[in-house]
């Protein structure tokens, strides 16, 4: 996503972490830097010490490997920095003072010419949030451009823990179940026209997740369209619309997506389909 008022690349984040102790709340414009844990591909800076076996570290390492394996994206050009505040109050104080125009959220990814940075705080949701936002970071560290709907769809897909069967998001399926009952028709062309993350609705996030899930888990033809499209983003800042390629490879793609969602609904909520 792009924050049009500043020209910076700003991507909404969601973050999870597995740290035990919580230092005192601070009100500062300084980012956490008391402790750091660095790899070749990312660095976590925090006011809480993180060991190599900490759940947060393990989650980011596993996620990066998963992204490269599943999406076959190229090696990243730049490392991703994760600024992990010790508590929510400190995080919100810093974010409000530094990025005044951003709506309040649990986490953010901010990409600039200087660094690709994730901001969040230690909470019961930190691992889920980090999976989402760190995905944004890896995509933008590896590719020249990422269309907004795809950026969010991939992040929503990998936000779900790898241990969950088929990486199914019950939250998105509930939204799509309501959409189907209201006569919803998938609209990839419409999603591709959205360029400001503030214009995305909850249903748009759910549909973006569904398109990514469908292409990765339905047919080899659909998967190849997504993977080849991502390869093209390695070198271009003005990508073709994916919908055009998908339509050529899978002419019934729209109906196929609806059937894919209906099948996921039957698997996730069998009691509702009896």
Q: How confident is the model over 235-250, as a mean pLDDT?
A: 93
**What tens digit of pLDDT does each residue of 167-205 get?**
999 999 999 999 999 999 999 999 999 999 889 999 999
Percent of the chain at pLDDT > 70 equals 88
Residue 115 and residue 81 in contact, taking contact as beta carbons nearer than 8 Å: yes
Percent of the chain at pLDDT > 90 equals 75
Q: How far apart are CA 35 and CA 82, in angstroms?
A: 12
pLDDT exceeds 70 at position 71: yes
In terms of C-beta density within 10 A (0-12 exposed, 13-18 middle, 19 or more buried), how is residue 273 classed?
exposed
pLDDT exceeds 50 at position 44: yes
Confidence of residue 9 (pLDDT cuts 50, 70, 90): very low
**CA 114: distance to chain centroid?**
21
Q: Looking at the domain 2-142, which fold is it?
A: Glutaredoxin (3.40.30)
Residue 250 and residue 200 in contact, taking contact as beta carbons nearer than 8 Å: no
- Locate 263 and state its tokens: 């099948």
Domain limits, the chain: 2-142, 151-273
pLDDT exceeds 70 at position 273: no
Confidence of residue 229 (pLDDT cuts 50, 70, 90): very high
Q: How far apart are CA 66 and CA 134, in angstroms?
A: 12
pLDDT exceeds 80 at position 255: yes
Q: Which residue, among 86, 81, 88, has the nearest Cα to 107 in the 3D structure?
A: 88
pTM of the model: 0.87
pLDDT exceeds 80 at position 12: no
**What tens digit of pLDDT does each residue of 84-139 get?**
999 999 999 999 999 888 888 999 999 988 999 999 999 999 999 999 999 999 99
**Mean pLDDT of all residues belonging to the chain:** 88
End-to-end CA distance of the chain: 40
pLDDT exceeds 80 at position 15: no
pLDDT exceeds 60 at position 14: no
**CA 166: distance to chain centroid?**
17
Pairing of strands 35-38, 42-46: antiparallel
How long is the chain? Answer: 274
* Alpha helices in 1-104, H assignment, sequence order: 55-71, 88-98
Q: How confident is the model over 243-259, as a mean pLDDT?
A: 96
């Amino acid at each position: 996503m792009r924050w049009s008022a500043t020209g910076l690349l700003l991507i909404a984040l969601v973050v999870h972490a597995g740290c035990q102790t919580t230092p005192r709340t601070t009100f500062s414009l300084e980012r956490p830097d008391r402790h750091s844990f660095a790899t070749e591909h990312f660095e976590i800076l925090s006011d809480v010490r993180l060991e190599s076996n900490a759940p947060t570290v393990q989650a980011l390492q596993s996620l990066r490997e998963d992204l490269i394996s599943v999406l076959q994206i190229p090696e990243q050009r730049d490392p991703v920095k994760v600024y992990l505040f010790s508590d929510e109050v400190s995080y919100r104080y810093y974010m409000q003072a530094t990025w005044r125009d951003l709506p309040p959220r649990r986490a953010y990814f901010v990409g600039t010419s200087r660094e690709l940075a994730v901001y969040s705080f230690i909470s019961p949701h930190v691992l889920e949030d980090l999976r989402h936002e760190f995905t944004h970071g890896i995509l933008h560290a590896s590719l020249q451009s990422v269309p907004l709907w795809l950026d969010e769809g991939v992040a929503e897909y990998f936000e779900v823990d790898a241990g969950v069967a088929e990486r199914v998001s019950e939250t998105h399926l509930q939204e799509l179940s309501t959409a189907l009952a209201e006569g919803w028709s998938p609209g990839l062309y419409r999603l591709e026209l959205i360029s400001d993350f503030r214009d995305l609705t909850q249903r748009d996030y759910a549909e973006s997740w569904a398109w990514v899930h469908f292409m990765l888990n339905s047919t080899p033809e659909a998967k190849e369209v997504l993977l080849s499209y991502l390869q093209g983003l390695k070198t271009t800042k003005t990508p073709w619309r994916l919908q055009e390629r998908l339509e050529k490879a899978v002419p019934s793609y729209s109906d196929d997506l609806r059937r894919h969602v209906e099948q996921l609904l039957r698997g996730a909520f069998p009691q509702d389909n009896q």
